[in-house]
Structure 1
Amino acid sequence: MKNKLLIILGLGFAWACTSPKAEKIDYTALTDEERLEIAKEIALNTIIVDGHMDLPFRMYNMGHDMRGEVFDFMTRSDQGNIDYVRAKEGGVDAPFMAIYIPATYQETGGAKVLADTLIMMVERMVNTWPDKLALARSPEEIEANFKKGLLSLPMGIENAAAIEDDLSNLSYFYNKGIRYMTLTHGKDNLVGDSSYDDSETHGGLSEFGKEVVKEMNRLGMIVDVSHITDKTFFDVAEVSIAPIVATHSSVRSFTPGFERNVSDEIIKKIAEKNGVVMITFGGSFLDQAYADANSAVRAHMQEWLKENNLSFRDDKAREYMKAYAAEKVPVVHVSKVVDHIDHVVQLVGIDYVGLGSDFDGVGDTLPEGLKDASMYPNIIAELLKRGYSKEDIEKICSKNFFRVWKDVESVAGL
């Protein structure tokens, strides 16, 4: 078996190097173990872009900004979903750092200040470890960093509350390295309506929001349509002259009624606009049975916490919830992520799908085989099992998103 694996690994590496001979191998006929070994090699030799990770806000919650400390990103951790060691093991090369602004900042103020703080924390990591990390403001910079062996940390804002009511803040953040902006988050804001909010404040994109989309187009900043209502989405699609992206959304047909995921109609429109849907990994996004069970568990926990005068942060509460959920919530496997990829591919083709984990943003709801950044090879192995080609996998991992990004840049200034 060892010799056979070495042969297969050699073929897998040759495949990553575009060997015509390797292309003839039927990867669907291999064992799961053999496919996984090849998938690991492919992950290390293919640029993998992830559309959304919430590491900056996790660092902020840990108080590193207050203490002026640099987050220890270099050491393997059992906390969160990404660190340098796990990223390199999994072959992820450009995880977008989400500059996340909670909706409460729309009420309290300080959204721009928080965005600046989170950007500063990402910059501080890069400045601390310049031999390991680098910022990235374009596909070309990611490609150059990849050749140097550097992990790229591109950035995107999550929630347009960050620009407050000032359109000029878009160019301010663009100059800071922000390359996409998610228009809303948990509540309606000045730009448009959120899929998590029933208020329908604007009935779609606001007049200010239309100007925001136009200015993003002018700058070459990607418009992220995750989190917005369907009405807001179609307004964006009408206003934007550039492709649009859902950086961390899955397919609604698997979770009927969950507007946070994208409908088939929206997927078709994104493809029509030459954009991309980046599939997210949270269990409630992937599987309706999981979502229903998880909601029931959370409702139970709310009552249990009140009865026991505890909060979710208490160790006793965490232990109880973990044990209780283990009995109630079904297991979701990494294969579910590929089910969602399959759906997009079958609906509109291979050119319009990518990966957007939402690591550090979805808590303990991640699938088996996809708990952290070391596990991207499990997605690739499942794709191989289903007959996806080398070219297909490269498109899913980065080439689709790079095409969109370059197209967005090409309309800048128009």
Structure 2
Amino acid sequence: MINSNLAILRQMYGMGVRYMTLTHSCYTPWADAFISDIISPETKHDDKYDGPSPMEFHSLARHLDTDALKISRAPVFFSHFSAFSVFPHRRNVNDQVLKMLEANNGVLMINFWNNVVRCSKDYKNATIDDVIEDFNYVKDLIGVDHLGMGADYDGVPIVPKGLEDVSKYPDLLEKLVRDHNWSREDIKKITGANILRVMKDVEKVAEELEATKANDDTLDYCRIVGSDNCLIASAKAKS
């Protein structure tokens, strides 16, 4: 998206962008993904690199959603994940990280994708109740102040029965209130109040760091992993 260049990130900020993820399914030179189909683990990011750091993202009010929790001055959010303890998909968030998220005052936005809420062998039979189990688990573990909705309707090929599209949001919220004793205030928080709070808090940190000297370096992926690995990764990406 930014080709490892913070100057591009600042340009996007000027055009209205207010958050980005560090990775998706592949590693970047400066952050690890949950899995990579293109780049092997041996070619992942170099912890010793002294170029642009995650801290600089705050100067543009960005939100980091990886283990940058350890160094982030501002709250972060996980945009579309579920709880590893409910279903151990490698993409889901484990309890240790959830506790870090609580301390960070961030938000986990629950994903509706069948594959992360139901056993792999039975994923096609996932239902609205599987998603509710995630909401209840995270609420009990770290509190409703750290929950949001990250359905990913525009990014996944299959969703649970009872949550076929956005018209089903009222059904989900009604079940949380009626069957699981969620309050109206709880519903308000997960449907927007929590994530708005995070974004406001990040803007505050951005203002505090406004005077920080900008780093316009481009992170050279090939220099980190070596030219041979870089060429191999590029060839696989094009194939």
Equivalent in the alignment of 2:149: 355
Asked whether the equivalents of residues 27 and 45 of structure 2 are also in contact (C-alpha less than 8 Å), the reply is no
Picking from 370, 386, 400, the partner of 2:194 is: 400
In structure 2, what is the equivalent of residue 13 of structure 1? none
CA distance in 1, matches of 2:49, 2:94: 25
**For 1:47-89, what per-residue CA distance to the aligned partner results, in whole angstroms no more than 9, with x for missing partners?**
xxxxxxxxxxxxxxxxxxxxxxxxxxxxxxxxxxxxxxxxxxx
- Matched with 2:90 is 259
Asked whether the equivalents of residues 180 and 224 of structure 1 are also in contact (C-alpha less than 8 Å), the reply is no
Partner amino acid for 2:87?
T
Question: Which position in structure 2 is the counterpart of 1:275?
Answer: 106
After superposition, the C-alpha distances for 1:325-379 in whole angstroms (9 at most, x for unaligned) are xxxx4x211121111011111101111000001112111x200111111111111
Residues in 1 aligned to 2:27 and 2:100: alpha-carbon distance in whole angstroms = 23
**1:201 maps to which residue?**
43
Which residue matches 1:410? Answer: 204
Per the TM alignment, residue 166 of structure 1 is displaced from its structure 2 partner at its CA by: 1.6
Report the more deviating stretch, 333-342 or 274-283.
333-342
Q: Which amino acid aligns with 1:221?
A: R
Q: Distance in 2 between matches of 1:220 and 1:206?
A: 25
Structure 1 CA distance, aligned partners of 2:152 and 2:69?
23
Does 2:12 match 1:219?
A: no
Q: Does 1:177 align with 2:16?
A: yes
Structure 2 residue aligned with 1:380: 173
Contact 1:252 1:263 in 2 (8 A): yes
Sort the Cα spacing of 1:175 and 1:409 in 2 relative to 1 into closer, same or farther, 3 A.
Answer: same
Paired amino acid for 1:388: W
Deviations 1:236-287 (A, max 9, x none): 112211111101000111222x221100111110111000000000011111
2 CA distance for matches of 1:389 and 1:395? Answer: 10
CA drift of 1:205 comes to 5.9
State the partner residue of 1:166: 5
Distance 2:134 2:47 in 1: 27
Q: Does the CA contact (< 8 Å) of 2:29 and 2:45 recur in 1?
A: no
TM-score (structure 2 length as normaliser)? 0.79
CA shift for structure 1 position 167 = 1.4
Correspondent of 1:242 among 62, 71, 74: 74
Among all aligned residue pairs of Structure 1 and Structure 2, give the percentage whose two residues are the same amino acid: 35
2:69 is matched by which residue type in structure 1?
A
Question: What is the TM-score of this pair, normalised by structure 1?
Answer: 0.47
Given that residues 28 and 45 in structure 2 are in contact (C-alpha distance below 8 angstroms), is that contact kept between their aligned partners in structure 1?
Answer: no
What is the letter of the counterpart of residue 184 of structure 1? T
Name the CA shift for 1:200/1:348 in 2 (closer, same or farther; >3 Å). farther
Is residue 2:161 matched to residue 1:368?
Answer: yes
8 A contact 1:170–1:215 mirrored in 2: no
Cα distance change, pair 284–238 in 1 and its aligned pair in 2 (3 A) = same
More helix by share: 1
Contiguous gaps of at least 5 residues in structure 2 = 210-239
1:285 aligns with 2:116: yes
CA contact (8 A) 1:271 1:348 kept: yes
Aligned ranges for residues 263-342 of structure 1 at < 5 Å? 263-288=94-119, 291-293=120-122, 329=124, 331-342=125-136
Query: Unaligned regions of 5+ residues in structure 1, if any?
Result: 1-161, 226-232, 295-328
Deviations 1:132-188 (A, max 9, x none): xxxxxxxxxxxxxxxxxxxxxxxxxxxxxx110321111111112111111111111
Kept in 1: contact 2:29–2:46 (CA 8 A): no
Q: Give the distance between the partners of 1:344 and 1:356, measured in 2 at CA.
A: 14
Amino acid at match of 1:176: M
The DSSP-based 3-state class of the residue aligned with 1:342 is helix
- Total equivalences in the alignment: 204
Q: Which entry has the higher C-alpha Rg, 1 or 2?
A: 1
Q: Provide closer, same or farther for how the CA distance between residues 224 and 381 of structure 1 changes in structure 2, counting only shifts above 3 A.
A: same
What secondary structure is seen at the aligned counterpart in 1 of 2:199? helix
Q: Which has the higher strand share?
A: 1
